[in-house]
A and B are shown apart, each in its own frame.
Chain A
Amino acid sequence: MITRTTTNMMMQNAQRNLQTNMAALAKLQEQASSQKAITRPSDDPTATADSLRIRAEQRATEQHGRNIGDGTGWLTTIDSALATTTSLMNRVRDLTVRGANDGSMSPTAKEAIAVELDGLREELLNQANTTYQGRTVFAGNSDAGVAFASSPLYIHSGTGVAEDIVERRITEGTKVRVDADGPATFGEGIDSVFALVDRIASDLRSGNNVGAHLNTLDTHMTNIREQQAIVGTRHAQIQRAEETHMERTVSLEGQRAGVEDVDIAEVILDLQLQEVSYQTALAVTARVLQPTLMDFLR
């Protein structure tokens, strides 16, 4: 129990209290100006762990956004290639039907159709070898530069292994396939749609009826539409992923702010209170420490 109070003691106490007030003021000022509730792990170890986890997720999500962008590019490219392919195929079918009516057709007219078919085959091959940022979208992971070799073999350059697909990671646990199966779309080698068009053209030139090829042509068209549907589904999936990604980005930023950032209204209010108490401490100290008995002795 302190029974005796001295000038010295009061001075020291006053100094210490002012120091404590000042330290609290400095801490609040740091929080208010930096807007950060935690600037070092010891401020709040639990929140620090949360903050590290959220920041890791934010960075990963940012990267997933890039992956989604890349994947969207692939799928859009394939989509438009398949749409073009479908209209090319429709033209091929029209010409084949016309060429099948060979009774009324002169060899010159047939030659004209055959020439157009050659052109269409070339165009089809172009579409099959469509690239996105230097990668052939129908060739899987091949680095051959083209999905289908040129006339007359039309060999697919993929390895043929089932895992030889291109995928993009859209969330931590989900990947989306962003390439299209070249052989399933166009066929391969002599069974390919290119070889078929070649055969139709040569049959036209040699005078054979081309009507027999219509069934095979229809099968190929069905295959292409099927692939288009599959690619469309994936495209829809990646677009949903893009929306989810944006929501997640916002929600993660909200979580981060909730853990790391200060409530500005609260801090400013605290700062005001602390300022008042600091000024009070200063004023009181100034009044208490001044007088001694000497001021009153004559």
Chain B
Amino acid sequence: MSTFSGLNTAYTGLVAARKGLDVVGQNIANANTEGYTRQRVTTSSIGSLATVGPFAGPVTVGQGVSVDGVARLGNEFLDARVRSGASTAGYWAVRANVMTSLESTLQEPGENGLSRQLQDFFAAWQDVANAAGEPAPAGVLLEQAEVLVSQIAIGYREVENQWAQVRRETDGMVAELNDAAAQVADLNGRIRSTLQAGGSVNELLDKRNSLTSTIAALAGGTARQLDDGTVEVLIGGNAIVSGDSFRAVQATGTHVFGTLTADPPKLQWAHSGLAVSLDGGEIAGALSTLAPASAGAGGVLAEAAASYDAFAEKLAFAVNTFHNGAQSGTGATTGDFFAFTVGSAATTLAVLPTDVSTVATGVAGGGILDGSVADQIGNVSTSTAAGSPNVVWSDFVTSLGVITRSNLQQATLAELSATSAVSMQLSNASVDMDEENVNLLTHQVAYQGAARVMTAVDEMLDTLINRTGIVGR
């Protein structure tokens, strides 16, 4: 053991303490950085030099401390939980958003909803019945009918616009997904080469981690840690990122609501054209609302549009049944009141009569001023028979309310679970100021201690070199 080894031991202590202070500094600096995972300096003691030769040497002490590295205190399982929580929450959040804004276009219950216009329309028929042959009530009725028809069309157009908007947003989300996947692939490559060169990749891992969370929120899926430090990200069972390469996905299908049934929007792999079967995430949520209608079980937007069509058809049917073949206030035989094209009734619904001479009021062949047919049409207003317009509309509003409510509840639950996962992750990975302060103190004291050791050794050597052998001088 050399005379100066004590100095070196104290020096390693100084280096380790300084490194510790640096890491604490990095932690505090990044206390509010999103996705940052706290770090610790890892040290180990250096053992004494091995004695060589047949004779046992004197007792020796260790050679100081070695800085082994800077550990990143993340937890893979907590990260996986965050990803799965984000995937479910993303799916339900998109659905709940779409449902909420769809629901708000109805303006029900209240004075401004379609139901009010419908009731006003039927009430106008009663006024026509009370004054058959008078132009004024017939004019009011026709005006009211036009308002009702345009409100149905507006409701349908709002669904259509919302569909188009969600469709555009889906394109944006797919672009974001591809972008995130490309970045993960790039980071994979850098992490692998840095690790091979023996460097520290903590900050790169943080960045990659938040990107994989983004991918999970967008498209669900799983991330698998590989031995070379890279991560493989799978969506729908296939790798979107593998090593430093990624496979792009694309959203195909129509951007026009009208051609939805023929060409429904879906997600597919750009290279093979095969469909991606998503198990969660915002894109899956958006695609589920974009699906075509299928007897009540299809996409919510297409189903809402179909409900508008069904309502328009039932309305036309309910009025035309009485109106066709009756007699107007001028004695003319009347035809249909509403015209529409089957399959797109909501947008093609039109009022056929133009004035009092073509609005049915009475039974054909009866007195000219008979109002009984107009009265029958007016009395449809509160009919509770299945298929009567007000029942069809009420069923639509109520079922939309039920679906919205359940979607909102699901979204709240998923959000809670995602929040709890993030809490757990933060609990493990985030920087705690008190803890960093304690570490700061510890490393500072360790530095002071090491410096004191160095001073002591220095003074000892000073005694040996400068004060020894000067007796009698």
- Residues of chain A at the chain B interface (Cβ within 8 Å): 2-9, 12-13, 16, 38-46, 48-49, 51-53, 55-57, 59-60, 62-64, 66-67, 70, 133-135, 140-143, 158-159, 161, 163-164, 166-169, 172, 175, 260, 292-294, 297
Partner of A294, one of B375, B402, B437: B437
Residue of B nearest to A6 (CB): B432
Pick the contact of B379: A16, A62, A166, A172 (CB < 8 A).
A172
With A6-B430, A60-B123 known to touch, is A141 a contact of B368 (CB < 8 Å)? yes
Q: How far is the CB of B79 from chain A (nearest CB, A)?
A: 16
Q: How many residues on B have C-beta within 8 angstroms of the other chain's C-beta atoms?
A: 69
Q: CA of A177 to CA of B367 in the docked complex: distance in angstroms?
A: 15
- C-alpha gap A177/B402 in the complex (Å): 45
Contact across chains for B372 and A167 when beta carbons are under 8 A apart: yes
Contact of B109 among A51, A293, A297 (CB under 8 A): A51
**Which residue of the partner chain A has the closest CB to B96?**
A42
Q: Contact: A42 with B115, CB < 8 Å? A: no
Please report B residues at the A interface, Cβ cutoff 8 Å: 31-32, 99-100, 103-104, 106, 108-110, 115-116, 118-120, 122-123, 126-127, 129-134, 331, 362-363, 365-372, 375, 378-379, 381-382, 390, 393-394, 397-402, 404-405, 408, 419, 422-424, 426-428, 430-435, 437-438, 441
Residues in chain A near residue B434, CB distance under 8 A: 7, 292-293
Nearest CB of chain B from residue A190's CB, rounded to whole Å: 24
> How far is B113's CA from A19's CA once the two chains are assembled, in angstroms?
32
Contact A164 B366 (CB under 8 A): yes
A238 nearest CB across to chain B (Å): 13
Q: Are B115 and A163 interface neighbours, CB within 8 A?
A: no
Asked if B432 contacts A55 (CB within 8 A), the reply is no
- 30 sample A-B contacts, Cβ–Cβ < 8 Å, listed by A number: A5-B432, A6-B435, A7-B430, A41-B108, A42-B100, A42-B401, A44-B401, A45-B399, A45-B401, A48-B109, A49-B398, A52-B390, A55-B109, A59-B119, A60-B122, A60-B123, A63-B126, A66-B126, A66-B130, A133-B131, A134-B134, A141-B367, A142-B369, A159-B367, A166-B371, A167-B372, A169-B126, A169-B375, A169-B378, A294-B437
Question: How far apart are B16's CB and chain A's nearest CB, in angstroms?
Answer: 22
- Set of chain B residues within 8 Å of A38, measured between Cβ atoms: 109
How distant is B365 from chain A, measured CB to nearest CB, in Å? 8
What would 4 more interface pairs be, CB under 8 Å, given A8-B32, A143-B369? A9-B426, A52-B394, A142-B369, A163-B366
B362 contacts across to A, CB distance below 8 A: 141
Instruction: Determine the chain A residues whose CB is within 8 A of the CB of B331 once the complex forms.
Output: 143
B423 & A4 in contact (Cβ 8 Å cutoff) = no
Q: CA separation between A175 and B428, bound complex, in Å?
A: 77
**Which residues on the B side are within 8 Å of A6 (C-beta)?**
426-427, 430-432, 435
Q: 7 closest pairs, A vs B, by CB?
A: A141-B367, A41-B401, A45-B401, A59-B119, A8-B430, A6-B432, A42-B404
Complex Cα distance A154/B205, Å?
106
B424 partner residues in chain A, CB cutoff 8 A: 2
| A133 / chain B contacts, CB cutoff of 8 Å | 131
Query: Do A292 and B130 touch (CB < 8 A)?
Result: no
Cα distance, A62 to B397, chains bound together (Å): 24
Are B433 and A294 within 8 A (Cβ)?
yes
Closest chain A CB from B58 CB (angstroms): 43
Known: A8-B31, A59-B119, A59-B120. A297 touches B382 (CB 8 A): no
Complex Cα distance, B369 from A104, in Å, reads 52
Q: Which of A5, A6, A55 has the most CB of B within 10 A?
A: A6
Q: Which of A57, A66, A143, A292 contacts B127 (CB 8 A)?
A: A66
Provide the bound-state CA to CA distance between A163 and B327, in Å. 15
Of residues A41, A166, A293, which shows the largest number of chain B Cβ atoms within 10 Å of its Cβ?
A41
Chain B residue with minimal CB distance to A16? B419
Interchain nearest-CB distance for A192 vs B (Å)? 20
Separation of A143 and B370 alpha carbons in the complex (Å): 9
Given contact pairs A8-B31, A41-B106, A63-B126, A2 touches B432 in the complex (Cβ within 8 A): no
In the bound complex, residues from chain B placing their C-beta under 8 Å from that of A8 are 31-32, 426, 430-432
B327 to chain A, nearest CB (A): 10
Q: In the complex, which residues of chain A have a beta carbon less than 8 angstroms from the beta carbon of B368?
A: 141-143
Whole-angstrom CA separation of A140 from B367 in the bound complex:
7
Q: A295 to chain B: closest CB distance in Å?
A: 10
Contacts of B123 in A (CB 8 A): 59-60, 62-63
Once the chains bind, are B367 and A158 in contact (CB under 8 Å)? yes
CB distance from B445 to the nearest CB of A (A): 12
* A2–B370 CB distance below 8 A: no
Q: Which residue of A lies closest to B329 (CB)?
A: A143
Q: Is the CB of B427 within 8 A of A9?
A: yes
Select A142's contact among B134, B367, B437, beta carbons within 8 Å.
B367
Quick one: closest B residue to A73, CB to CB? B130
- What residues on B are CB-neighbors of A294 within 8 Å? 433, 437
Contact B430–A293 (Cβ < 8 Å): no
Q: How far is A67 from B128 in the complex, measured between Cα atoms in Å?
A: 11
Give the shortest distance, in Å, between A177 (CB) and chain B (any CB): 11
**A160 CB to closest chain B CB, in angstroms?**
10
Q: How far is the CB of A4 from chain B (nearest CB, A)?
A: 5
